[in-house]
Structure formats: C-alpha cells, structure tokens
Amino acid sequence: MTTSRIAFRREVASEWAIFNDDAGISSRFGVATVVVRRRADELISSAVGMTAAALGKALGQIADPEQGRMRLVALGRPLARSSRVAAHNADRDKLWSALEKSGIVLPRGSRTEAEMTHCEDVLQFSGVIEFAATELPVALEVTRRADAFCLGQIRDSDGLGWENFLPSLELLPKDPAAFLRAAVRQIADGLFVARSFGQFDDALVGSEVFAENDVVDRLQAIMMPVE
C-alpha cells in the first residue's frame, strides 16, 4: 500500500469471469491491481491517474533499464462500409486522429496504424504507439476510454512481435474483453499487459497489470513491502 488511499491486490487471472473456459489463460498468469476509492467530487481521470503513476513507478523499479519503451495497442470502432459518409470519415481519420478528435490525449511516440482486412463489409483500423515509460499514465488513460491496452516487458524477450499481433488475429475481437483475452494469451518471458479502469459513477477505480506470476511477485514486493 503506497498511500492511505491507494491499495494493492493480487488475483489469479484464470479465476476472472472473462477468462473462464479459456485454455490459453493458465494459472501461471496473475493480475496485479492498484486501486483507489474515488471521492465523490473527484474526477475519474484524476483518481485513475494516481494509480497509473504508482503502478508505473513500481514497474520502473523492476524493469531492465534497456526495456524502457512500451506500446499502446488499440482497435478503432468497426463501421459498415455501406454507410458512405461514416466510412469516408473513418478512412480519412483512421485510428489515432479519430481518437484525438473524440477528446482523447495520446502519449507522445512513434505511431503506426493500418486497416484491418478480416471482413469486406466492415471498415476498422488498428494501431500501435511506441512510447517512453514516462508516458505510461497518459497511455493508460487511453485504455480506460478506448479499446486498447499497454504492452511492456521486464526483460529482453524473443516473444511475439507486437507489430504483427493485430494482423495475426484470426477473428476480430467483438468487445474489449475479447481484445484483452487475445493479448493476455501472448504473455511470456517478462511481457506484461496493462490497462486502467473506471467509468461513470464507479467508486473504485484503478490500473492493473496481467503478467506471469514472477512479475506479479516483484510488483507485490514493492507495493506491499513486508514490515
């Protein structure tokens, strides 16, 4: 526990309802969550930002200094190509400009985006922003407001090339939970997936990391030190 308001909790990922019956989510995956009870007059973004900063600081303490870059991976809203005006606007703005026009602030970094080609009748864009670890709170706020997650690694890894993650999906995720499941299945060798949560009038809001248990162990040691 880092302040009187912020709390840390640990769970087994496979016990989450959204991962039930998913053979790709094994017991070696854990969830490290930093939560805060929001005051009635406090903006959700402010409260979540507090947890994102605390989580980012802890991740910085356990990550290899050479692994300082992270990625924001996102999916845009699917649109029917039959709606010509909407399809034209989507093709013009693609992913990142569309999010910025909706009022979402993006982390500074190198941007890529591409059209998903799984269905001829649907227009949808995906993208990746590679950003410095100092931009993590900004990136996590994007994950709270859009269909997105953050990806990082604690140590050097030969895992999946995340620039190929979205094109490799056999089926487009139908909702944020499906998108998260697809990402968590790829966790290995020090990779982790992070996101923030909190909507409308939620009292408890926060940020969380999905990772192998050894990564969660190290986060717990920092966030909940033994007295």
* Separation of alpha carbons 155 and 62, rounded Å: 9
| Average pLDDT score, the chain | 86
Residues 6+ apart with CB under 8 A from 21: none
pLDDT class for 2, splitting at 50, 70, 90?
Answer: very low
For residues 164-169, average pLDDT? 64
Q: Is 80 helix (H, G, I), strand (E, B) or coil?
A: strand
Q: Which of 33-42, 97-106, 155-164 is least confident?
A: 155-164
* Separation of alpha carbons 210 and 32, rounded Å: 7
**Does residue 66 or residue 113 have the better pLDDT?**
113
Rounded (10°) CA dihedral 164, 169, 175, 179? -50
pLDDT class for 136, splitting at 50, 70, 90?
Answer: very high
Residues 6+ apart with CB under 8 A from 83: none
**Does residue 131 or residue 170 have the better pLDDT?**
131
For residues 93-121, average pLDDT? 89
**Does residue 81 or residue 31 have the better pLDDT?**
31
Residues 6+ apart with CB under 8 A from 113: 94, 95, 96, 125, 126, 127, 128
For residues 196-225, average pLDDT? 93
Residue 31 CA, chain-centre distance (Å), reads 13
Q: Which of 89-93, 107-111, 186-190 is least confident?
A: 186-190
pLDDT class for 3, splitting at 50, 70, 90?
Answer: very low
In this predicted structure, the answer to whether residue 203 has a pLDDT above a threshold of 60 is yes
Q: What is the pLDDT of residue 123?
A: 85
Question: Both tokens of residue 191?
Answer: 């990779």
For residues 161-175, average pLDDT? 65
For residues 66-90, average pLDDT? 82
DSSP states along 101-146: HTTPPPPSEEEEEEEE-S-TTEEEEEEEEEEEGGGHHHHHHHHHHS
Q: What is the pLDDT of residue 53?
A: 94
How many Cα atoms sit within 13 Å of 10 on the Cβ side? 19
Question: Both tokens of residue 206?
Answer: 């926060």
Single out the residue of 47, 42, 59 nearest to residue 3, CA to CA: 47
Exposure string over 205-224, b if 16+ CB within 10 A, otherwise e: bbbbbbbbbebbebbbebbe
In this predicted structure, the answer to whether residue 186 has a pLDDT above a threshold of 50 is yes
pLDDT class for 150, splitting at 50, 70, 90?
Answer: very high
Q: Is 64 helix (H, G, I), strand (E, B) or coil?
A: coil
pLDDT class for 54, splitting at 50, 70, 90?
Answer: very high
Single out the residue of 221, 171, 195 nearest to residue 33, CA to CA: 195
Q: Give the rounded percent of residues in the chain with a pLDDT score beyond 70.
A: 87
In this predicted structure, the answer to whether residue 69 has a pLDDT above a threshold of 90 is no
